[in-house]
Amino acid sequence: MQSVYFPRRTLLSLACVQAFSLLSFSAVADEQNKTDTAAEASLERLSVYGQRQSDTFGSKSGILLKELPQSIQLLDVDQMRGQGLVSVGDLLRDIPSANPGYSRVGPYQSFSLKIRGFAADQMRNGMRQRYFEDVDASALNSIERMEVLKGPSGVLYGQSAVGGVINLVSKAPGADNSGSAGLRFGTDNQKVANGDISKVLSDSVSLRLTGELERSDTFVDRQPMDRNNASLMLQHQVGDKATGHFVAEYFKRETDRYVGLPVSVVLPDQDSEVLDISSQLGEPGFTSLRSFAPLYQYWLDIQLNTDWTLTPRLQYQEFNTVFGQVNLRAPVTGQPELISRTGRQGRENDDYQIAQLDLNGRVTTGALEHKVLLGYEAGRERGRFTQSNIRTGTLNPVDINNPQYQYDKQEPVLDFGFDNFYNLDSDAWYLQDQIKLTPDLQLIGAVRYTDSKAGSGAWGSAAE
């Protein structure tokens, strides 16, 4: 093995270099500390704000969002609207495993919204919504946030909540007087005006008014979107231990049903002649859709004591729609440029009422702490669907090269189709228990029993 020899002078030089390096580093560190101290003295106070996680999901579960054992996403609606999103379906695009459904131009968007492959049940402030999205999927001006819970949640919200629940939380009145207004212009001749006013009326009463008006075309030819939305949110104190909440909202939407070129039509000369894809093959004077719906909610949070809260809830909602529709059928035999048509006209009127009573509190059994929710829900629905069909042979085939419309000048000949009544009465009892086993481990169990009676009969009669 070969040894290495360092002369004494070399070792001394290395020691001096190391000493000077330490002194230089110490001087630089002292100078940096002085600089940091001076910078800290000149800095202003910095405040960092985050989202409060003390709310409970669905406005009634009693389980804090941070303690919920299921996957949940919260979306700030105003922030999403600032990014150009205009409907509930658009908001769902940011949620994994959620299907945003077809666009808001479609007549009934709610049936296409899905979570994990199942229809997404929709709630408003924790109460079931039967027809909200069927009227105006873009009525987001009055919404503060959207909560999306994935997985079964039928114990609290009904046995059909299999894939998940969408809960829309209304904007609450602010702590002081404020207001805002806005205009939005966009592609497809989009024109939207909205307003938001929050006012404190007294020490115990405050309110918030929102409204939105849209007069726009859409990406679908000859299918404009006219809609109106107005909302009132009122909060009031009842003594020292109760807070009341009242929500009143009105939705109205008018649009047309567009009937364009059927994809099944192939003409012999199609390669040499380009057809106008925006051709209206229906009946502009007949194919319309008008929907309107009022919504009323009231709930009262009564603080019985430090551990128990009693909350009664009431909701009344209507869904009303009038429509005319023309459907394209097969081409006329031997004349592929002529498309046969059928049509219908009808209306649907529904009202849905729901009442809930929840008792939420804490109880201790031995070393275990229980967070208990005991509730009762009663539902009543009355619906009517009336339809008439265009008489066979009175609606002429349409020429895709030169469409001619007959209902601009004459009324359609209609034959009665049906007049259906459907009634639904239901009662449900549910119990949820959140057991705190350790500071970091909790067990949640729940059970629900539902008794439903459905049938048909005269308008307003009891279910059979």
Q: 265 Cβ partners below 8 Å, 6+ apart? A: 331, 336, 337, 339, 400
Record the tokens describing residue 419, joined without a space.
Answer: 């007049």
Predicted local distance difference test score (pLDDT) of residue 263: 52
Residue type, 218: T
CATH number for the domain harbouring residue 220 = 2.40.170.20
CB 348 within 8 A of CB 381: no
Q: Band the pLDDT of 308: cuts 50, 70, 90.
A: very high
Domain presence at residue 13: no
- The tally of domains found in the chain comes to 1
Tokens of 350: 């529904």
Is residue 37 in some structural domain? Answer: no
Whether residue 445 is contained in a domain is answered as yes
Sequence-distant (≥ 6) Cβ neighbours of residue 47 within 8 angstroms: none
367 domain residue, yes or no: yes
Task: Give the residue among 231, 69, 59, 86 at the shortest CA–CA distance from 147.
Answer: 59
Are the C-beta atoms of residues 161 and 148 closer than 8 Å to each other?
A: no
What does the DSSP assignment read for 367-423? Answer: TEEEEEEEEEEEEEEEEEEEEEEEPTTSS--EESSS---STTTSPPPEEEEEEEEEE
Contact 339, 398 (CB under 8 A): yes
Residue 388 lies in a domain: yes
Which residues make beta-bridge pairs with 183? 193
Please check whether residue 440 lies inside any domain of the structure. Answer: yes
- Alpha helices in 110-217, H assignment, sequence order: 132-135, 154-157
Selected residue with higher pLDDT from 243 and 265: 243
Residue 461 is classified by DSSP as: P
Which band of pLDDT confidence, cut at 50, 70 and 90, is reported for residue 354? very high
* Residue 34 in domain: no
Residue 312 near residue 300, CB atoms below 8 Å: yes
What pLDDT score does 44 carry?
56
Dihedral over alpha carbons 353, 246, 213, 140 (to 10 degrees):
-80
Number of H helices, E strands in the chain: 5, 20
Rounded to whole angstroms, what are the CA distances from 435 to 155, 390, 440, 443?
17, 61, 11, 5
pTM, full prediction: 0.80
Q: Exposure string (b/e) for 142-159, b if CB count within 10 Å is 16 or more?
A: bbebbbbbbebbbbbbbe
Phi, psi of 150 (to 5 degrees): -95, 145
**pLDDT bracket for residue 35 (50, 70, 90):** low
* Tens-digit pLDDT profile for residues 93-123: 888 888 888 788 877 776 778 888 777 888 8
Q: Give yes or no for residue 246 having a pLDDT over 90.
A: yes
Looking at per-residue confidence, does 14 or 354 come out higher? 354
pLDDT score of 279: 80
Nearest to 148 by CA among 198, 179, 113: 113
Closest-CA residue to 234 (of 318, 296, 292, 316): 296
Residue for token digits 């409204």?
211
How far apart (Å, rounded) are the C-alpha atoms in residues 144 and 170? 5
Both tokens of residue 84? 């150009």
| Residue 202, domain extent | 176-455
Selected residue with higher pLDDT from 285 and 163: 285
Angle CA(368)–CA(371)–CA(375) in degrees, nearest 5? 140
User: For the residues 349-366, what does the mean pLDDT come to?
Assistant: 91
In a domain, 151, yes or no: no
